[in-house]
Amino acid sequence: MVLLVKVAVVAVSSYLIGSIPSSFIMGRLVRGVDLREHGSGNLGAANTFRVLGPKAAIPVLLFDIGKGFIAVWFLSKIGDGNIWCTMLAAVTVVLGHNYSIFLGFSGGKGVGTTAGAFLALAPQALIICICIWIIMLLITRIVSLASMVAALFLPASVLISDRLFGTETHFMILILSILVALLVIYKHRPNIRRLREGSEKRIF
């Protein structure tokens, strides 16, 4: 019974933290706009940058990363280090960002929040993915493409980081990396369509 209560607390708290729509709030505060109606229409740091500029986008990105980190690092401790509670915190905080209860279950694509979760779970793997993301962004100047490629490399990065740094990442984290990578790709369906059409916007 106690474990079930802890699981419920972790799930609900992580989801609510993930649901805080930082980019939506920033759009309202800075310019009084709904970012879902401007730029790419996505609620994330990239569209915030595109519509409101870097001074608004950087806090949004840091907040979204912070959501993922706080949920995994702090809330999962409620489960006394139970790996299932940790995984639950990671999944629900990303789902909260993607399907926010405060926005009628709409939201972003979960890239920043996923990064925050893996900052707590597998920081070395995250570093590899960030490097891949930067390289792809410099080459293509397309944030969505860089994000999808980095997400697809996340499971491989978990394995590579274990070899490079001598770590032993729990196999459940590897499973989680596959799931969140698929979720990121799923949320980028409109971007994939625009990439095929050649109409996807570049960040600069």
Residue of higher predicted confidence among 81 and 18: 18
pLDDT in tens, 69-102: 999 998 878 877 788 899 999 999 999 999 999 9
CB 32 within 8 A of CB 66: no
Model confidence, pTM: 0.94
Q: Please give the pLDDT value at position 142.
A: 95
pLDDT in tens, 137-155: 999 999 999 999 999 999 9
| Rg (the chain; Cα; Å) | 17
Give the C-alpha distances (Å, rounded to integers) separating 44 from 98, 147, 150, 187, 197: 10, 12, 16, 12, 22
> Other CB atoms closer than 10 Å to residue 41's CB: what's the count?
11
pLDDT in tens, 164-190: 988 888 999 999 999 999 999 999 999
Token pair 């940058």: residue: 49
How far is Cα 180 from Cα 195, in angstroms, rounded to an integer? 21
How far is Cα 34 from Cα 188, in angstroms, rounded to an integer? 20
Q: Write down the domain spans for the chain.
A: 2-197
> Other CB atoms closer than 10 Å to residue 188's CB: what's the count?
21
